Structure formats: C-alpha cells, structure tokens
Structure 1
Amino acid sequence: MEEMLTEAACRLGVRGAQVAVLVGGELREAATGIANAELGTPMDARTLMQIGSTTKLHTAVLVMSLVDEGLLDLDEPVVRHLPELRLSDQAATASVTARHLLSMTSGIDNGFYDDPADYLATLSRMEMLFAPGDGYSYSNASTVVSGALVARLTGLSWDEALRRRVFEPLGLRDCTTLWDELPYHRVAVGHAPDGSVVRPWTFSRASGPAGSTLCSTAGDLARFGELFVRGGAGVLSAEACAAMHVPQVSLPTRRFAREWCLGPYRRDFGGTAVFGHSGTNYGGSSTLLWAPSTGVVVGVVCNTPHAGYPLAAEVAAEVLGAAPYDVEPVTRLTADAEPYVGRYAACDLRYEVSAVDGVLTVTLEEVASGRVSPPVALLPLERDRFLPERDLSGGRGWDLAFVVRQGRAVRLVSGGFAARRMA
C-alpha cells in the first residue's frame, strides 16, 4: 500500500499523504512525503492534517446522537431550538428541519467564507436557493446551523461536544478542532500546486462544524468511519446508524455523488454501495469511504488540496477494486440549448450560460474578486447534465446539471453547489 501511495502522490504532485484501510477491526496505515516543505518535516502516520468538509460527517453523527437521546426530532422545525435563526424567507425559517440540514435539501445557500462574530446572523443576507425539501444543494451554512443546534441542545460548544461524544468514546487520539491543541501534535501545512507552503492556516473558526478546523490523521478518520460499519459502535444506536444510510435525495449531477443521505453521500463502485464524504481546506484534503456490505473503511488525507480528490480516487479504486462509472461526452452540440440559457447566482458566484451554433457555454464570475473566466463549453452527457470542457471544480472533474421545470431551467448545479436562475 505504501508503494502505491508513494507512486500516486509523486505522479499527482502531492507533497505528503496518508492512507488507512480498516477491515475486520484490523487497521493498515501508510504515509509518504513531507509534512512541511519549508522545514523539510517528514510525513508519518500520526501527522495531523486539515480534513475540510469530511468534518460534516462528524457533525451529522452529533445530530443523530441527539435524536437517539430524544432531544431532537429530525422533522421538527429547527427554529424551535434556535429562535434566533433568521433566513431570508420567513416561510423557510419556520419550516427548515434537521433532516433538511443533514441531507443538503434545506435550500440555504453555501454561505460566505469569512469569520463573522455571529454566523447565523449572516444567513438572512443570502437569498434561498429553493424552498426547504424542494431540491438539493450542498451547503456549508446548513452544517453550521447543525453545529449551533448541537451546542444549544447539549449546553456545550460544538468542539467540546465532538470531543466528549465522538473522539473519547472511539478512542481517537489524533484529531482536534482546537488550534491551541496543535502544538502537542505533529502537524502538516497545506501546499500549493507549485509546492510552496499555503498561508493563512485556515479561513474561519465560525465554520468549524462544516469543516474549517478539524485536523485528523487517516488512521483516526478510518477509526471514526468504522462506527458506520459497526452499527454505531456505541456512539449511535444501530437504528440511528442505519437511518444515516437511507438516501434522502438524488442529485441532478452524478460525478460528485448520486444520492445524499443523512450526512454521507452514496455512490456506486462497480455494483457495491459505498458511502462517505470528502473535503478540502487550505491545509489539506480528505476522503472517507466505507462499504457496509464488505465492512471495508478507507481514509485518505493529504496536504496538497488541489490534488487530494484525484489521489483519493486512485486509492479508493485500488482498495475497493472498482471505481464509479459515468458516460463520456460524444459531441459538443446540444440539441436544444434554449431551456438552459440565462444567468444564475449563488451568494459568491455568478454564471452566464449562452449558446452559439448549438454549443452551450458557461462563464463563471467570482463575486468577491470580480474575476471572470473565459467561456467554457458544456459537453452533453445525458438529459440535462453536461461536462465542462475545461474543469471548473478545482481538479475534481465534476459535472454540471440544470434543474428543469416546465421546459425551463430554474437552477444550475455545479458538482454539488446550486445557483438559482436570475434571468
């Protein structure tokens, strides 16, 4: 496993990485490369790295533990416990539930990448993408609301609840969300595509429940993932663990995931149902996967964010013996482009979709910086789904899809992130 990891990391330009595979209670670990290019620190199996959005699984487990204890009903309005919650739409505020939050069907936009003193107060400034339960869109903001729910119902900070309810019961020694704990561990830093060290360390503490602070090793990530193949492992009831594997919504895209459950996504690896989550932060990238039918758990962490997903894909295919399959484009021409043409908006992005001589194109604008990409052709895959001719997802290879209602697209979904139609 170490030889495979080293070869793949070198080929993909990954500075340092770890892999952990857990089968039948036996954990195998491998590490390669360096933790910090400026210091020349070697990577080992106990070096902590930021895991990014894979943290959302940890937050989902905390929420489900509240359900286990009868403190929370998945289908009651969250505002009953968080009366200060204010979304931009009053009806959405009154109806959004924990089920919506965990399944990415809340309609709450992804959120701003800053560090406000009161994160929940920023939600009223974002237009809803759709009514709760009426679609799918990956949302950091939804998960921060879940973290606030955990804090309110436990009387603890999200960080402390995670330590007491997950880390300690599972015996996880090599993970922390608190920066003042990092000096007591070996810690890796992030690296850019040119190999230089990334600064700053992270973008926010406020987004901790969604993935801005948790650092772990691949080994502890796999040990955490083991609870999903062991019926909750005492952290959750078997019933709550099983409920987390029930698909709640199908995605309009396919290369990000096919279905979303109560926390994890569901994908198909050569006929085997595989669940998991991935994430990227300034300092690292991670993927956690498990196959309940075989009991195999795979954790991959690296400190080169732009190459983390390609590395995890190669490791997963090697360990699981298969990879997700998708059709490939055969033409640049779209038979009827009219339903898709228009302008779409999310809180931090704008999309302009046009058609010239049967070729559909998209232009992407970053709101904060004002940067505008050149037009990128959208190659038809099937129905309302396309593959950008030039990757728009930071090396992830995601597809793009439109949600069409009555012959007209009402939303665009890039990978997992939705944008509403403006015009």
Structure 2
Amino acid sequence: MNIDERAAGFCRDNEIPGYLAGIDRAGQRSVVVHGIANTATGAPMRDDTGFLFGSITKVMTTTLVMRQVEQGRLDLESRVVDHLPGFRLAGSGAAGEIRVRHLLNHTSGIDADLFFPRSHYLERLARECGSLFAPGEHLSYSNGGMIVAGHLLEAITGRTYHDLLERDLFPPAGMTGSVTSAEQAILRSTAVGHFPGPSRPTSMFTLPATWAAAGGTPIGTISDLLAFGRLHLDAGLLSPESLAAMREINSDPGTPAASPSGLGWLIRTVGDTTVLTMTGASPGGVAVLAVIPEQDLVFAAYGNDPRALELHDEFLSGLAGASTIPTWAPQTIDLRPYAGTYRSNQLRVDVRIVDGELEEHVTYEPTDADQERIFTGFIGGPFTAPPMRYVAVGPGLFAPAGFPLDALPAHYLVSYHAVTDRTGARYRSSGGRMTRRAGI
C-alpha cells in the first residue's frame, strides 16, 4: 500500500485541502505530507504542522488518571463524588453512583454529549444535564464523562488540566510540538479545518476550553501522536499493569455498530487484528490514532476536511491486514418495537415506519443561542438533516437504505437496545452514542 500516492489521489478526487499520516513500526518512523494546511493563506502542510487532536485527547486524559491511580491518589472503583463533591446531575441521584472507571470507559450515562458551556461546566451540568442510564448499565460514547475526569484530575492534583498535559505528559512522551492553546499554536505551522462544497476554512478553530479534557484544545503534530502511541506499546510513563488495564475490554455494546471500550481506548477488531483506536473530530478536521500491539505498530493521521475519515479507515484496514469489509443482508423483522421518539441532550430522533423501512428524522434542539453558535461552528453551518431510511440487517440492527450492503463499514449502522414487549426499544445507538426513548 503506497500511502503517499493514495493520499494524494483521495484528496484530489474529493477536493480535500491537506492530509498528514505517520507510521511507527518497532520504532522506525515515517511521515507522509500532502497539500495545503490553510486555503485562506495558502500555507502548505509540513511534517511538523500542528493540528487539533480532538477526542484523541481522551486517551491522554485517561493516561493522566492512570498515573494518579499508580501513585495511590485514586482508585478506579472509587466514587467520583468522594473526590469531586461538586459533581451533580440534574434530576437524578445517579452522580453519586458513578465510579472513576465509568468516566474512562464511556459507561457513566452522563447525558452531555452536545453540552457546550463556555464556563462553570460542573455547575451547569448539575442544572441542565441528567442521566441516560444507570452507571455501568450501557456503553454510550461520552464527552461529558471525560470532561468530568479532567475536573477530577484538577481536584486531586490542585493543578489545571492544561498544566498536567504540559508538564506530566508532553515532555516525558517526547511530544515536543504539542501545545494547549490557539495562542501557542499560531506561533508555528498549524492546520485549520475546512468544510466541503466548495472547500472553505472553518470560522471557529477550537471548542471552548471547558472541553479541554475531551479534546477541545490540545494541538500537536503527527510525530507527537506517534510518540504518544508508542507510550502505549512500551512501558515507561505507565506500568505494564496500567497499559494492560487500558487495553482490556471494560464494556461491550454487543453490536457491530459500536466498538467495545477499554479505558480511554476504543477496541476494534479489524479483520483478525485487535486495534486500540480513537478518532478526534475538530471543527472541519479529523484525526485518528491507532495502536496495534501484535504488530508493534502505531498509525496516526489528520485531514483538514471531515471526509478524510474514510481515508483514515482505509489505511487502518490495510495496516491491520483486513482484506474484506463485513457484508450485511436485508432481513424481514417486526419494525414496531423500534418506532418512537428518542432523545438525549439537545438531540431528538423521531423514528417511524414507512414503506417497510424505518425512517429517522434527527433534530438539533439547542438549549440556548450560545451553545447553538458553538455547535453550528463545529459542524460548519446550520444543522439540517433530511429524513433517512434504514433497512433491517438483524434484530435491532439497521443499515442505511440505498447503500451497498456488501461494502458497508460497520460504523454506518444504527442499533437499538433494551427491547421489551411493553415499551419496545429503550435506546437507539448511532456512532456509539445513545439516545433514550422519550417517556420512559
């Protein structure tokens, strides 16, 4: 697989401005660079160009938490409120039952995936966000859980989250190009995200600083991500026991539509290979970090257009040795248990049966004008989602209608969970994120 040629061809065919990719195999490192970092300035991508890590930061947050566990300041099974007394959730006593582990493996149930306050995060969380499910009951990818983990680190250490990154993670990992703010990043080569149709630079570089621990602010290079990935192959910053704990499956959603979770990592099976991975979305950009222990390999990439995710997946599949994409087949099942309205923080999904298929209509319902500005800045414009049809490919498992089922990546699937005769499905999951049936 010639990554350089494929990246150039993909970016040309899809009008993606720029792309970076790196491979570290047994300590031997190579980096591929293509295109433009910022179309507004014409600045080229370089091998030392910085970019937002996005949610890859969640693995860094978990690494910092595991250091505190090793030092005896935290226990994964301890209650978060015992260390962070101000942690509450609206209309629910569930906060008192959330353990440190739940924050790191996406099973906390905190309903705050699209919650974007600029300040006073914990105070507003207590007033405005509740629970999707009891702690540990299900897996739902959680920005809120990781942000609370960042506040937990600050309470335990008495230091800011950014200071912990800058002093306790970046230097020992050899992440010499990493910074924690746009003000620092602007002093060096830095890529900005772009949105398609035609390609245009983002008008919002970072998410609010309140999102730092979930991936709102840290910025670095491909070499930095490769160095961080290498930490999770070679004991040093963390003990072998901590590395093994992060790699162990903590929760499995039981559906091919979502990956099981370790601690910090999502754990994918690509072909016959186990891959520790995390994707990092940012305004108009998308990064990925993958560690393949059995191959002693780290892969990292960034594209400054969200459509680069397809190329990330292609390269990762090739590196992991996957020769085929799973094949799905239409099935005839009773659709009635899945129809209804499902909700999570600021998101509503109306599901109905139309012509023997499920039709989903997703609506964004912003809490206030400021959060709407942040969300629309993140996605590049007003949220508009036409109704989408789905066909059953298994009990509680649906694929988008009209897509070729013999070459459909699993992350395109939608799954439904906790189905009963009385209420039907209690939860809908898309992209590993759950919404809960309204009225239950």
Q: TM-score interval w.r.t. the shorter chain?
A: over 0.9
**What secondary structure does 1:355 align onto?**
strand
1:58-207 residue pairs with structure 2 within 5 A? 58-124=60-126, 125-193=128-196, 194-207=198-211
Contact 2:333/2:392 (8 A) holds in 1:
no
**What secondary structure does 2:36 align onto?**
strand
Structure 2 CA distance for aligned equivalents of residues 34 and 396 of structure 1: 31
* Counterpart residue number, 1:264: 265
Structure 1 CA distance for aligned equivalents of residues 124 and 86 of structure 2: 12
CA deviation after TM superposition for structure 1 residue 418, in Å: 0.6
* Counterpart residue number, 1:13: 15
Structure 1 CA distance for aligned equivalents of residues 282 and 186 of structure 2: 20
- 2:418 matches 1:414: no
> 1:278-327: per-residue Cα shift (whole Å, max 9, x none)?
011115211111111111110011211x2131120122123333267433
| CA separation of 1:209 and 1:396: change in aligned 2, threshold 3 A | farther
* Counterpart residue number, 2:336: 338
Size of the aligned set, in residue pairs, is 414
| CA separation of 1:86 and 1:169: change in aligned 2, threshold 3 A | same
Structure with more helix by fraction: 2
> 1:204-232: per-residue Cα shift (whole Å, max 9, x none)?
1110110111112222111101111113x
- Bigger shift: residues 308-317 or 21-30: 308-317
What percentage of aligned pairs have identical amino acids? 31
1:308-323 residue pairs with structure 2 within 5 A? 308-322=308-322
Q: Which runs of 4+ in 1 moved over 6 A?
A: none
Task: Tell me the amino acid that sits aligned with residue 343 of structure 2.
Answer: A
1:262-341 residue pairs with structure 2 within 5 A? 262-304=263-305, 306-322=306-322, 325-330=325-330, 334-341=332-339
Structure 2 CA distance for aligned equivalents of residues 69 and 111 of structure 1: 30
Structure 2 CA distance for aligned equivalents of residues 237 and 72 of structure 1: 15
Task: Tell me the amino acid that sits aligned with residue 194 of structure 2.
Answer: H
Structure 2 CA distance for aligned equivalents of residues 274 and 13 of structure 1: 29
> 1:98-150: per-residue Cα shift (whole Å, max 9, x none)?
11011100000133443332111222212310010111111111110011111
Task: Tell me the amino acid that sits aligned with residue 159 of structure 1.
Answer: H
Contact 2:256/2:410 (8 A) holds in 1:
no
RMSD after superposition: 2.0
* Counterpart residue number, 2:379: none
Q: 2:222 aligns with which of 213, 218, 222?
A: 218
- 2:425 matches 1:379: no
* Counterpart residue number, 1:352: 350
Contact 1:267/1:324 (8 A) holds in 2:
no
> 1:354-412: per-residue Cα shift (whole Å, max 9, x none)?
11343221111111279664332111122211112379xxx995211111243321111
Structure 1 CA distance for aligned equivalents of residues 79 and 436 of structure 2: 24
CA deviation after TM superposition for structure 1 residue 66, in Å: 0.8
| CA separation of 1:134 and 1:396: change in aligned 2, threshold 3 A | closer
* Counterpart residue number, 1:23: 25
TM-score (normalizing by structure 1): 0.93
| CA separation of 1:301 and 1:372: change in aligned 2, threshold 3 A | closer
**What secondary structure does 2:291 align onto?**
strand
> 1:163-200: per-residue Cα shift (whole Å, max 9, x none)?
21211001111111122211332111111112111102
**What secondary structure does 1:130 align onto?**
coil
CA deviation after TM superposition for structure 1 residue 90, in Å: 4.3
Contact 1:49/1:215 (8 A) holds in 2:
yes
Structure 2 CA distance for aligned equivalents of residues 371 and 116 of structure 1: 20
* Counterpart residue number, 1:388: 400
TM-score (normalizing by structure 2): 0.89
1:47-62 residue pairs with structure 2 within 5 A? 47-62=49-64
**What secondary structure does 1:10 align onto?**
helix
Structure 1 CA distance for aligned equivalents of residues 109 and 169 of structure 2: 28
Structure 2 CA distance for aligned equivalents of residues 255 and 13 of structure 1: 29
CA deviation after TM superposition for structure 1 residue 347, in Å: 0.6
- Bigger shift: residues 72-81 or 89-98: 89-98
**What secondary structure does 2:295 align onto?**
coil
Contact 1:111/1:123 (8 A) holds in 2:
no
Structure 2 CA distance for aligned equivalents of residues 289 and 263 of structure 1: 12
CA deviation after TM superposition for structure 1 residue 10, in Å: 2.1
Q: What 5-or-longer segments of structure 1 have no aligned partner?
A: none
Structure 2 CA distance for aligned equivalents of residues 112 and 119 of structure 1: 13
Structure 2 CA distance for aligned equivalents of residues 148 and 348 of structure 1: 23
Task: Tell me the amino acid that sits aligned with residue 195 of structure 1.
Answer: S
* Counterpart residue number, 1:43: 45
